[in-house]
Structure 1
Amino acid sequence: MKYGMIGAGAMGYRYGVMLQENAGVDVDFIESWLPNVTKVREQGGVQVARDHVDQRLVPINIYTPEEYKGHPDVWIIFKKQMQLADELKRDAHLFHDDQFVFSAMNGMGHFEKIAQYFPAEHIIGGTAMIATVLNGPGSVDFMGAVGSETMHMSQYAGERGAVTDQVMADFKAADLNPIWSDNFMGMCLSKVVFNAVTNSLCTMFEIQMGQFITYPGVKDMATQLFNEAYDACERAGIKLIETRQEEIDSVETISHAYKYHYPSMYQDFSKGRPTEVDYINGYIAKIGREHDYVCRVHEFVTQEVHLAEMMRQYKQPTVPVQV
């Protein structure tokens, strides 16, 4: 099986490198950010570290969408929600009827966009509890111990077939530790409601997950956000693959496991980029509104993150104290 990775960012590098090195499959990276392409070509690959140590150079094949002439069996897409529509337009000439596509992006809204280019039966959805940091062009940091990767997979539509089976087998061989679910929406929303707690709150206060979990009120805050999200999903007829208590417990477990990690939303925020809060807390609030239930806390958190984004324009550079 040959894979084409659309998006050589943090998660694109994580999946692509692990598939290439551990599963021994061919992976081509398609990247629209030119500084990333240039850096990888200059240094002969991508610099990969794990938990800030043991950095090494991994040779990869990287192309812009206009340069690429290959024909992968399966596309893997990792882009920011706000960038996806434009990216798919730019890549559309590369898509063919016999190809499948997998995506495990944060938030919700991407599968509807992907379905404009691929048959619904050729779309494989996923979620990834995998922390990764893009340090800059051509440099990535895999967070967490070897073997700690956890992900779920599900068919977007139709029955699971031979291609999906092979993708799952390749992901297992890559040590990505996939778990299959027959509940597509329940799988997706289980990750969204988790991110609606850790990503959003860590971003607003600009803290690592390990710092976040030291606050004694985290459990109460998480419980309030989870309860509201679960109430909205139940009204929409969506049964999440994890219970409320399992989600609450996971905040502590994951935050301790990735204690030095800044969530991806904060990584965008700290670089002055728009965050994906509308596709996470905002999406939960949208489900509530569509089913006559007001998610007051998620509505408030969405506005708070946007306020924090806007307030960046008023922050002044720190002036060193003269002694």
Structure 2
Amino acid sequence: MKIAIVGAGAMGSRYGYMLHKAGNKVTLIDAWKQHVDIINKEGLTVEENGALSKVKIPAMLPEDAKEVPDLIILFTKSMGLEPMLKSIKNILGKNTRVLCLLNGLGHNETIAKYVDRKNILMGVTLWTAGLAGPGHVVLTGDGSLEVQNNDPSMKVEAKEICSILSQAGLNAHYSEDVLFSIWRKACVNGTLNSSCTILDCNIKEFGELKEAPQLIRNIIKEFAEVAAKYGVKLNVEEVAEGIEKIYDPSQAGAHYPSMHQDLIQNHRLTEIDYINGYVSRKGKEFNINTPYNDLITDIVHAKEQLIIK
């Protein structure tokens, strides 16, 4: 299958590598020119369990993409989604399926401006990865992937894509309620990504804090109240216990979440407005008090101003 990874950062590079290794024709598309140039010149450096390998996968800037793929997997940053969709409009074919695996909430409405609803798939992934530098991806741990079609008539096609992803070792399965899973993952990001970024720590270090249990439950409670307005029922204690399992180093405890990678490590803007900020914004819209998410959003934005000059 011809697959374009749009947003070939840490996670996009991981998916691109695994799909390429499984025999698919993969193209990496990213706006970071240095990253693209190094991949094309030297290959993608893949670091896995301490071993390094170089993998030749074509990479290009969005404006240089010409070939229409069978499947586009979106891994852009949330704030870059609409600009990216505008820049790749030439490869959004009539029958091109578009799978959104972005962190955060509210992306479906943005994609629908550019892609026929029947071609949109939404997903949630629990894989992790990091970038050691341009052209150098670090693979950590195992993961899984849920996928569901937007249009009810496209269930068979969605299951076929799940099969292709699973053949690449991505542990994909078809979901009957991916919206629930998207909100549940947003709770993970809304507790761990933002907290580790504010506190400058990894997931294990955060989990060892005596304040962590109550803090994550207070954040999740606000997510649950907003999610209920969309017909999504989240059990606060169940979600919290799932997050607490991630503290284990054998899971993702040693991992610095993507928001930490963006702001602390690479001095880039974060996706806070599409995670805690989304809950804060929708809380105001629905007249729901969200003091924890309001404060977290403000603190991360303040930290962005201090770090990004």
Please report the TM-score for the alignment, with normalisation by the length of structure 1: 0.89
1:100 to partner: Cα distance: 0.8
Query: 1:145-171 CA distances to partner (integer Å, 9 max, x unpaired)?
Result: xxx212221222333333212210011
Quote the Cα distance in structure 1 between the aligned partners of 2:111 and 2:301: 26
CA-to-partner distance for each residue in 1:165-185, whole Å, 9 max, x for gaps?
221001111111123222242
Q: Look up the equivalent residue of 2:75 and give its one-letter code.
A: F
Give the Cα separation in 1 of the matches to 2:152 and 2:45. Answer: 39
- Code of the aligned partner of 1:3: I
Match of 2:236 in 1: 244
CA deviation map 1:65-117 (0-9, x unaligned): 33333221111111011112211111111211111100111112322222111
Give the one of 100, 120, 125 matched to 2:122.
125
Aligned residue in 2 for 1:17: 17
C-alpha RMSD of the superposition = 1.7
Task: Tell me whether 195-204 or 266-275 shows the greater mean CA deviation.
Answer: 266-275
Q: Superposed, which structure 2 residues align to 1:261-272 within 5 Å?
A: 261-270=255-264, 271-272=266-267
Q: Does 1:303 align with 2:298?
A: yes
Please report how far the alpha carbon of residue 313 of structure 1 lies from its aligned counterpart in structure 2 after TM superposition. 6.2
- SS class of match (1:76): strand
- Alignment partner, residue 166 of structure 2: 172
Distance in 2, matches of 1:46 and 1:272, equals: 23
5+ residue gaps, structure 2, are: none
Structure 1 CA distance, aligned partners of 2:233 and 2:198?
29
Give identity over the alignment, percent.
30
State which of 153, 165, 168 in structure 1 corresponds to 2:147. 153
Once the two structures are superposed, the pairs formed by residues 243-322 of structure 1 within 5 Å of their partners are 243-256=235-248, 257-270=251-264, 271-312=266-307
Tell me if the contact between 2:147 and 2:158 (Cα under 8 Å) persists in the aligned partners. Answer: no
Give the Cα separation in 2 of the matches to 1:284 and 1:114. Answer: 20
Q: Does structure 2 conserve the Cα–Cα contact (< 8 Å) formed by 1:149 and 1:175? A: no
- Structure 1, unaligned stretches of length 5 or more? 315-323
TM-score scaled by structure 2?
A: 0.93
Specify the SS of the correspondent of 2:63.
coil
Task: Name the CA distance, whole Å, in 1 between partners of 2:303 and 2:7.
Answer: 27
- The DSSP-based 3-state class of the residue aligned with 1:3 is strand
User: In structure 2, what is the Cα distance between the partners aligned to 1:30 and 1:229?
Assistant: 33
Q: Deviation at 1:288? A: 2.2
Partner of 1:91: 88
Q: Do the aligned residues in 2 keep the contact of 1:120 with 1:156 (CA within 8 Å)?
A: yes
Which residue in the other structure is 2:5 paired with?
5
Residue matched to 1:113: 110
Q: How far off its partner does 1:215 sit?
A: 1.0
Q: State the distance in 2 between where 1:11 and 1:299 align.
A: 28
Letter in 2 for 1:27: V
The SS at the match of 1:39 is helix
**Structure 2 vs 1, CA of residues 253 and 313 (structure 1 numbering), >3 Å: closer, same or farther?**
same
Contact 1:48–1:139 (Cα < 8 Å) also in 2: yes
The residue that corresponds to 1:73 in the other structure is: 70
Are 2:36 and 1:48 equivalent residues in the alignment? Answer: no
Q: Deviations over 1:124-161 (max 9, x none)?
A: 111111111012211000111xxx21222122233333
CA distance in 2, matches of 1:285, 1:31: 30
Equivalent pairs counted in the alignment come to: 306
